[in-house]
């Protein structure tokens, strides 16, 4: 018997429009068309589902857990985060002619 070992397709379902497609598992199928039919039977019997993706497992490239040091942060990455920046709660700007005076004294601000 060599007639049941079809290729593997990974299955992603979307529970509502606007939501992301989420990986739910995988199935064997002879082609993508049949994979959709089987994926619907296997993974959409109960919960809401508005869309399915099937992807040949062979098309997926993944990182290795043994290489997980590639995800380690070698340096401080706080500059990539909103919490890495400090702003005062209340900003009090001077009134009247004062901004111009400040600007004149600061060459960098002058161009703004």
Partner 1 sequence: MVIAVDNEKTASMSDVDPRLSAFEARINRGEKIEPADWMPDDYRQQLIRLIHVHANSEICGALPEGKWIPHAPTFKRKLALVAKVQDEVGHGQLLYRAAETLGPSREQMIEDLISGKSKFSNVFHYPAESWADVAIIAWLIDAAAIINQTMMAEGSYGPYARALKRICYEEAFHMKHGYEMCVVLAGGTRVQRDMLQDALNRWWTPIMMFHGPSDKESKHTTQLVKWKVKLKTNDEQRQQFLRQFVPKMLDLRLKIPDKSLRYDSATETWRYDDPDWNEFKKVVNNGGPVSHERVEARRLAHVDGLWVREALTAHANRQPIPMPERN
Which spans of this chain sit near partner 1 (rule: CB under 8 A)?
1-6, 8, 24-28, 30-31, 33-34, 41-42, 45-46, 64-66
Q: Are 44 and 11 in contact (CB under 8 A)?
A: no
Which of 41, 104 has the CB closer to partner 1?
A: 41
Name the residue nearer to partner 1 (CB basis): 4 or 107: 4
CB of 9 to partner 1, least distance (A): 11
12 contacts 59 by C-beta, under 8 angstroms: no
Integer angstrom CA distances of residue 91 from 85, 105, 106? 15, 20, 19
């Amino acid at each position: 018997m060599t007639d049941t070992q079809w290729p593997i397709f990974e299955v992603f379902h979307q529970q509502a429009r606007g939501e992301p497609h989420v990986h739910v598992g995988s199935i064997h199928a002879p082609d993508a068309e049949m994979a959709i039919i089987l994926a619907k039977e296997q993974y959409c019997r109960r919960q809401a589902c508005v869309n399915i993706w099937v992807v040949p497992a062979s098309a997926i490239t993944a990182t290795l857990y043994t290489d997980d040091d590639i995800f380690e942060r070698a340096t401080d990455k706080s500059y990539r985060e909103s919490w890495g920046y400090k702003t005062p709660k209340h900003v009090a700007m001077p009134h009247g002619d004062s901004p111009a005076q400040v600007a004149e004294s600061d060459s960098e601000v002058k161009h703004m």
